[in-house]
Structure formats: C-alpha cells, structure tokens
Structure 1
Amino acid sequence: MIDPNDPLDLQVVKQSKIIDALIDRIERSHKVDGTAYSLFQSAIALQAEVWEKTRDLEEALDTLGRASGELETAYKVQERVQKNLADVMVAMEGGFALFSEERLQVCNSLFKQLLPDVEPLIQPGLGFDDFLAAVSASKYVISQGNGRWHSPPDRPGTRRFSSFIIALRGDRWYQLSHRQTSSDNIAVLLTEVTQIVRENRREKKRLIEDQAHFLQAAFDHLSLGICTFSSEGELLVRNERFGELLGVPLPLLKKGVGMQRIVEYVERHEILDRRGRRSTYPGWFKAILRGNTVQERVRRQDGVRLDLQTHSLPDDCFLVTLRDVTAETEVAEMLEQRVRERTAELTEANRMLQIQSAEQFKTEDALRQAKEAAEAAHASKTRFLAAASHDLLQPINAAKLYISTLGEIVDQGQAKETVERLGRSFSSIETLLHALLDISRLDSSGVEFNITSFCMEEPLRALEEDLSTLAAQKGIELKFVPSSRWVSSDRRYLMRCIGNLAVNAIQYTETGRVLVGCRLKGTRLSVEVWDTGIGISEADQKRIFDEFTRVRDTRSGSGVGLGLSIVERACRHLGHEVRLMSKPERGSMFAIEVPLVTSPEGSDLCRKPVAVDASAHHGPLDLIVMVIENDADVLHAMTQRLDSWGASVLAATSTETALDLMAEIGTPPDIILADYQLDGTDTGVRAIRALRAAGGSQTPAIVISAKNSKALMRLGQEGAFSVLKKPVNLPRLRALIDWKTRREMT
C-alpha cells in the first residue's frame, strides 16, 4: 500500500490514513460484537498490529529524517556551486554560455550584452543554432562571406568544436568558440581579440612598408631601369635608373602619372631616334592585356642603345624595364664586322684553296699517273725478269754443260785450271742472276710462296754437299748438324736464305770453322749459322740487310751484297724471325726461327731419307734418254754430256719431234728430260704427257726449268715427274736419273 519510491511526506500521509482506518474499524467492530471475550481478542490483535505499524512508522520517519538531511546538504552544495559558477562567470573577461541539450541554460552578462539587438533573445531555453543565426544576422556584425555560421554536424564518436572571428562595427573583434563537453553540453566562449587584430594589422602594415622600402632600395641599386604601372596605366613604382636611361625629368615620374603622358613627352622631345618609323607604343597595351611580352631595341639621340621590355603582372598591372645595351651592341657590331671581314678572308682563302686544290688535284693526278707508270714499269720489269729468266739462264746452263764436259776432256794442268776458273766465273754469274731474280720476285706484290711441311734433314744435307767445295777451296771447316724435325715454310726460299747465310759465313771467315745447326725453341726451330769470321759492329748490324751492302771486302768474296737483303725480304714475307749476334773479330751468329709441325705419319721426327748419292755413277748410263730442248746450244751441250755418261740420247726440239723419234725407234725411252718452256705454247709437261700416252707407259721424267712456281711443283706432284732448276747441277742430275730409273726397274 505504501510505495517505498514515493516521497517521505507522501509515505507519512498514507500511513496516517491507514492508522485512522484501523482505529475506525476497531470502533465499528465493538458495536457489532458485544461479547467481552471477542472484544479482548480484538484488542490484543489490534494492539499487536498497532505496535508493528508504529515500529514501521518510526523506521520510516528515521529514514525520512536522514534523507531530508542529505537533501538539505545537496541543496546547500548546489547553491554553493551555482554561486561559485556565477562568481566565475562574472569574473571571466570574456562571454560564457552553457547549452544543455542544444538549449541555453546559463550565461554571463558579457555574453548577453555583446550585441544589443540579440540581447532580448538571450534567455534560458534559446536554441544553439538559433543563437548562431541571430549573431550572424546582427546589424552590429560586419558581414563576412555568406554572413552565417553553422555548427559542424554531429559525427559518431567525435565532439563538435568550432572557432571563428566576429568583426563588429567600431573596429572591434571577437573570437567565438564552442566546444561539446563530455556530458554532451555545449560551452560557448566569446573572447575579445581586438588588440591582437590591431597589433597584427600594424605589424603587417610595417612589414609591407619595410618590404616596399627594401624593394625600392633594391630597385634603386639595379642597373636596369624599372617602372611598374597599374591596369589603368598609372605609374606605381619606379627607380631612378629608369628616368636616367629614358631621359625623362623626375617630376614626370611621380606615382599616379599616366604612361600616356610619359610616352607623349618622349615623342614630343624626340628622345628616341625613330628614324621615320611610326610609334609602336599604342600596340603595347593590347599585347600586355593578352599576356604577351613586348621587347624592342631603341636608340637615343646621343647614341645610347636601350633594350625596352614590358612584362605583365597580376591584377592586369605591367612592368617596363630599360637596359643599357650600348656596349653589347657595339661589341656585337664589332663582332659582326669581324665576322664579315673574316668571312671575306675565308671566302678569299677558300677561293685560293680551291685553286690550290685544283692544282693539287692536277699534281696528285700526275703523281698518280707517275705512280701507275712506275708500278706498271715495276710490274713490267718483274714480268720481264720472270719471262727472261729462262732465256737468261739458258746460255749459262749450256756453258756449264760445256765446261763440265771440257773439264773431263782436258787433262793438262794449265788448261784444266783455266777450265776450273771458267766454271767458277759462270757459277758467280749464276749466283748473281739468281739473286737479282729473287729480289725482283720478293719486291713484286704478287710474289708466290709454296708453304709445305717438310723435314729439315734432307735439304740441309743437300746444302752441305753444295757448299762443301766452296769451304774446301778456302780451307774452312764446314760442319752441318741436320735436324730430323718437321717445319712449315717455303722450302725453296728457306733453303735459299740458309744457303745465303752459310755462303756469307764462309766468305767472311779467313780461318776457323762454320757451323750450321738447329736448336729447339718452344714451338719453333731455330736454324743457326755460326762462324769465327771478322764479325759485325753494332753500327753495321743495322745496315747489312740493305741491298748491295758489304761490311768489308774480302779476298775471296765475290758477292755484291744481295744475300742478306734476300734473307730479310723472304723471312718477312714468310713470317720468320731473323736474329743476329756478332762481335768484331770474334765471329757472328745468324738465326732463322721456323714453326714446327707434325709429320704426316703423326711424329715430330722424319724418317731417314733414301740417300741419293750424287757421286754414285761409276758405270755407264746404259739408258735411252729423250732430251727435249728448244735451245740448240743447250740441247747440244746436254746431248754431249749424256753421251759422255754412256747414254743413248734422242734429241728433240718440240713435242711433235719427240713423238716422231719415239715412233722411229718403236719403243718409249727409259727417261725423259724436258725443258719446261718450249717454242710457242709447247711445254715440257705437254711433251711428257704425249710421250707417255703414245708409249702406253708411265715413263720416268724430269722437267728442267728456270721457273720454280707452286703451279709447276703441283703439276710435278700430279704428273709424277721431278723438277730441276736451271742451270742444272750435273752431279745431282746424274744421281736423280739413276734413282728414278733404278726405282722404275725395281
């Protein structure tokens, strides 16, 4: 019946009503039941209930008393807080207001009295947005932007905050800030910032003035003349240099003066030398409005050159600059004059060069023709020597054959010595002729080399046989140490080089010995010629490889100084290094380094060659020998020599004659000796082929020729015939005939 949540006063009233109802019920119960016992029981029960209710009432009154005390204390605290808040709000220098649930709860007097036309609205319950709208619409507020401020929208998890400046009439400024508190109230502060704004304004003005002074000072110290104009063409800023360069009085260059007046003054006083040209200044404004830059070179009457430029600035202002370019112009004009002069000089020089070039072209053409003529003459000489070698060697070959025959016939001492001297003379002629031919071939551009692999033992032994007689005549000990190594080179030229070195060693050695041997040097074989001769000084070592150079004359030396020249040329073409070591009066050592190769059988060493003994012709040469030679003297001498050896000789001058002779005897010859170059197109190779074909057998054959080319050597290998050089070495010819016929018989 009693709600404990009700106020204590209401609970007391309800309990009183309950007690009165209980008492009234007791009185009514006495009227109904008159027995004493019933009355006693009822009184006892009623008394118990009254005591219980009285106890509850006392507890309730006690609780009510305590609550009333706490409430009174809370009221006192609230009054004290409100009094303190009021004191704080009165003591605040700015305006303050507190909005709860977007409604004004409390504010101070400054907040209320700031705007007189808004003051009537400042009452508790005023909406926050209505307050902002009223402030923005106040006549005391200077409109800024759209003249209205809005509180920022609510965002989940964030508290609103905003701050803005309010400009009031009378140059008063306030900062209005509002912030949402943790209890979702809005605290609004109005802070006067008039002094700060005025101070900032003064500072800004001071900075602008200082900047203007600084800019003006910078302008005044520039070498350029500078002047700025507004969009209406009125002068704003200029420096003194502008007036000096333009020649305009300073009173005319005051701030606010129109540019048109300045232009009219310049044109009226003819400060600038227009030289009959129309003024271009009216067109400047159109160009500046389009944002273009105008530039013009002008000249004052006193000769000063000026570079005038206009540049557009923000707010349609523009800048005019003047720069003194007199020195630059004079330098440019001087340079242009120099360029013109230099151009004229270069033109004249070019004309002279063209003339010289034409003359040089003529000279070069003449030199070219002379060079071509010299090359043609050299080629003609080479061809002549190559073609004439056969004819040059023919008489020497015939003479040597006759001398050899004569040497066997003459037995008397004086006549025999004469024959021997005659033989040595022809040998010298032969050596010189071969040297000249070799020099000619090596100097020609089309020199041919027959690079093959061969063993060094056999050619060194053959060279030893050839030089042993010369060494014996001088009383020199000649020793060869052949090598069984295989090398790669042109056999003929290599042996000619080694032979020339050995001959020189014999000629320039008076007493002692000459040694020819080989030494391994890595992948090369060094063929060395040592002697104990006169030696060569260092000064002479640099020139001995030149043509016709001799260190000194010797009693037995019959050479003309071509041997070492041939060695140098041949080894240079073949890629063989030539080395020299020598000491005067001690001797010399010449070496030629040749690359080593492997033999066809896969070995580094060669097999022992089949010895061809040049002196092994003890018995008569019982053979039928076909000799084909177109030179009558050589044919006669060769026939006599073969007859002296006991051979039956068939002498022919052409292939057709040889075929006729073979047909007459009815049998092929035992061996064919044929000169390579016969009359016309006839050759010894053709004759050998024809005789073999007619006889139906592979008759042994030897071609004797002054020509020793790769093509002829290849023909010899293909045609199975040997090649001997003219003049013929008779002992070697006899040994080769014996060897070829004996091999054929076996």
Structure 2
Amino acid sequence: MSGQSGLESVLDFLAVPVLRVEEGSARVLSVNAMARTLPFSLERGAVLDEAGAPLPPEQHPVRRAARGEPLEGALFRWETPEGDRTFVVHARMDRSCTPGVATVTFQDVTRWQRAEVDLRRALGARDTFLSVASHELRSPITVLQLVLERLHRGARREETFSGVQVAERLEPALRQVRRLGVLVQNLLDVSRARNNRFDLDRERFALSSLVREVCERFAEQARHAGSDLLMEDCPQVEVHWDRLRVEQALSNLITNAIKYGAGGPISVRAEWQDGEVSLQVWDRGIGVADGDHERIFNPFERAASGHRVESLGLGLYIVREIARAHGGTVGITGREGGGSCFTLRLPLEATERGE
C-alpha cells in the first residue's frame, strides 16, 4: 500500500470532513468518507459572510488553505439545501513534496451555535421577565402599604371610625391583594408546568355556563378599555374538564384581547364538532406578526406592539400548558381588517398527559 493511499485510509476513519488540497491550484486531491456523506460540496459550496452575502472566491477557506494561509479555528458558514451550516476550519500545509499539500478539516458546530443563540435569547427573556416581575410585584405592595398606613392613621385619629369608612379605604387594598394573588398563581403554574406537575381536577359541567360566567366577569374591564365584549354562539354541550383551569385559560385569552385589542370589539364564541370544542377569542386590535405566532406561547415572551403593555409574559404560556394537559391545543390566526383570533381546542373528554 502506498503512503498516500494509507493516509487516505486513516482519514476515512475520522469523524470530521477532511480535504487534501494541492498548493497553489486548490485542486482537491482527496476527500475522506465523512466529507463524501455531506449533501453539499465543501470546496465548491457558497460560503457566506456575517451579513449572509457570498464571500468572494479568493476568500473561500479552501482557496486560502491552498495559498498556505494558516487557518486555526476560523469560523465559516456554508449555504446548503438544508439551511446554513457553520464549520470550524483548520488547515495545515505540508511542503515535503512539490507542490505542497494542504490538509483542511471541518468541524460542524451548527448545533452549538444555534444553542448559543437560543441561550442568549432565553437569558434576555429572563432578564426582561425579572425586570417586569419586580415592577409588577412592587406596585401592588406599595399601594397596600399606603392604604394600610392611611387606615391606621384614621383609626388613631378618629374615635368613631365607621364601618363604611373602613370598607371604602380597604377596597383598593383588596384589589391589590387579588392582583398579587394572580401574579403568584401564574408563577406557581409555570413552575408546575415545567416540572410536569400540571394535574387536572376534572368534572362534568355545561360549556355555555362557563363561557357566560367568564364573559360577564370581564365585561366591565373591557368597557373601561373601550371594548365591547360579546358572547356569540355557544353549543349546549356537557364537557369533562378541569373547570377552574379552562376558566383560567379563557380568562387569559380575554384579558390578552383587552390589552392588545386597541379598544375594538371582542368576540367570544364556541363550536363543537367531531368530539372537539373550539373556544375562539377574536379582537380587532394590533394583531401579531406571522413570525411571532409560535414565540408568544413561550414563557416570558410578549408580542411586539406599538405601545407598552406591562405583563409577565406568562398568560399565553399557561393557556398552552392547560390545553396540553387536557390533550388539546391553542393557536392564533390573523383576521381580515386587523386583529387576531386565538383558538383553544379541547376534546370533550379531557385526557391528561401520560394517560
């Protein structure tokens, strides 16, 4: 066996693509087995710069290696039919023969690069969440403190402190306590969902009663935001769900519509077909960009909007987890004339995950 063929046999055992390139001409002398399995050509494929534009031919890493340029861990991105792939490239020139031969190795780091991007995004979302959470939690605590201090001063100053006066001064405190309760419950739900402990307490009840109660509860809040909350069609059907959880999911969808509905009408309707119920919440607001349809259901995420809406970014994530726990789904579609339609689809008989 010749020395060259023996080297090629050794290179075939390597788990990374390897090319051996002639000095000067950049002619490929051999390609190892791993390089031959790639669905694109390392030596002729389009290599992109940071902006995504093709590099000039003379900047191609194979051409640079053939010129004897040292490539020690340089990153290059190839455009391929399956999407961009990033490789760490090393090159070493052997001039023991004439012309010399450059050995070029390619380590695919695409997966690690994507993981790094996802991690950076997750860390950014976490930092935003912590900032908003501190604001959201501090606001009701501040109001509670002020209300209780006023109540305490009033009680010390006035010997006859009537029950009506106490009730009036306690009302804002009670509102803030309820707000704190919602925030804490959302954080607890996220913890349970992420630890697969999102248990259901199922019962049989009429679907129409749940939808009507939730719509009546949020009608006043919608009016304050300039929106009319309308309950449209709802079938007379009995479901087997965790009533409190589905009520929570529908409430989250309606409050989301109130926040982003831009004061337009909001419609809630239900449909029943082939053993599945679809709960739909329509708004005429700012809408959600197509590229954000999946992202907004992740924890600590919010849709980009033209105005500032403070929230923990947990509401839609909790809706998604409630849907999954029932064996259902939630999704969003755009609508003509602007706005969004969120659809919660659940089977009549909820099937918990793992059953």
| TM-score, scaled to structure 2 | 0.48
Looking at secondary structure, tell me which structure has more helix per residue: 1
Q: TM-score, normalised by structure 1?
A: 0.24
